């Protein structure tokens, strides 16, 4: 499996047969090196409805004829924009042709901003556990720390966990370090930091903190690809 980090919280998982995109935010992302029109995706997964996670979802979905997997209320809104959707809810799990998807709790909010600036309720935020090509990936979305992350680590044998460290709107580095201990992933990658001044953090220092706990981790820069064998 190949994993590409597109900046902020956008992750792309590519197997021999499918490419899955999580939280596409590219064209308005100052740190992204790819543009939405560059992306080939068979499915899109959305953790919640905030602009910095869904801005490019509909355009990529339409161009690729790719269904969007999201919480039901968010899925209904995106369907009204002309996208194909696969609605799910927290605690739900489903097998798709690329693998199996589990929706986990996330502590955050979720809304969408309409063209006239109003906010609409978009269901609850979620994280994702994706089982694909023999690997298990956890994307925590924009979550704060919560006790059931221990359960996620017990329930799933996670190869890579993507954890937000930005603080202010998500977990900061200290809580993300606790989350990493609880989740027990083989490898941890920090996300959702550095894109804007309010979420400026030192990813390298976070990785050093992981290392002191005996946890493997790495900083990924936008456009970087890693192989998971």
pLDDT of amino acid 195: 97
Contact 66, 22 (CB under 8 A): no
Q: Is 38 exposed, middle or buried (0-12, 13-18, 19+ CB in 10 A)?
A: exposed
Instruction: Tell me which residue of 126, 123, 41 sits closest to 84, measured CA to CA.
Output: 41
| Each residue's pLDDT tens digit, 59-101 | 999 999 999 999 999 999 999 999 999 999 999 999 999 999 9
* Beta carbons within 10 angstroms of residue 24's beta carbon: 31
pLDDT of amino acid 117: 84
C-alpha span between 69 and 84 (Å, rounded): 9
Contact 9, 47 (CB under 8 A): yes
Range of the domain at 72: 2-227
| Each residue's pLDDT tens digit, 97-132 | 999 999 999 999 999 998 888 999 999 999 999 999
How many domains, in total, are found in the chain?
A: 1
What average pLDDT does range 45-58 have in this prediction?
98
Strand partners, 14: 2, 19
Q: Say which CATH number the domain at 63 has.
A: 3.60.15.10
């Amino acid at each position: 499996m190949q994993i590409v980090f597109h900046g902020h919280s956008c992750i792309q998982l590519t197997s021999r047969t499918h490419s899955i995109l999580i939280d596409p935010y590219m064209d308005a992302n100052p740190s992204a090196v790819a543009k939405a029109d560059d992306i080939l995706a068979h499915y899109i997964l959305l953790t919640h409805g905030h602009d910095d996670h869904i801005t490019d979802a509909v355009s990529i979905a339409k161009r690729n004829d790719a269904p969007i997997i999201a919480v039901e209320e968010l899925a209904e809104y995106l369907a009204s924009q002309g996208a194909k959707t696969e609605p799910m809810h927290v605690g739900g799990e489903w097998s798709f042709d690329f693998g199996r998807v589990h929706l986990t709790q996330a502590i955050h909010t979720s809304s969408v901003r309409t063209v006239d600036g109003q906010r609409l309720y978009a269901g609850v935020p979620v994280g994702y556990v994706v089982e694909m090509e023999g690997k298990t990936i956890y994307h925590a979305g924009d979550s704060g720390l919560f006790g059931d992350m221990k359960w996620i680590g017990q329930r799933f044998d996670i190869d890579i966990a993507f954890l937000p460290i930005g603080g202010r709107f998500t977990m900061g580095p200290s809580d993300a370090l606790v989350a990493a201990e609880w989740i027990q992933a083989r490898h941890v990658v920090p996300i959702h930091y550095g894109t804007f001044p309010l979420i400026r953090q030192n990813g390298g220092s976070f990785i050093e903190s992981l290392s002191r706990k005996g946890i493997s981790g790495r900083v990924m820069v936008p456009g970087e690809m890693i192989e998971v064998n």
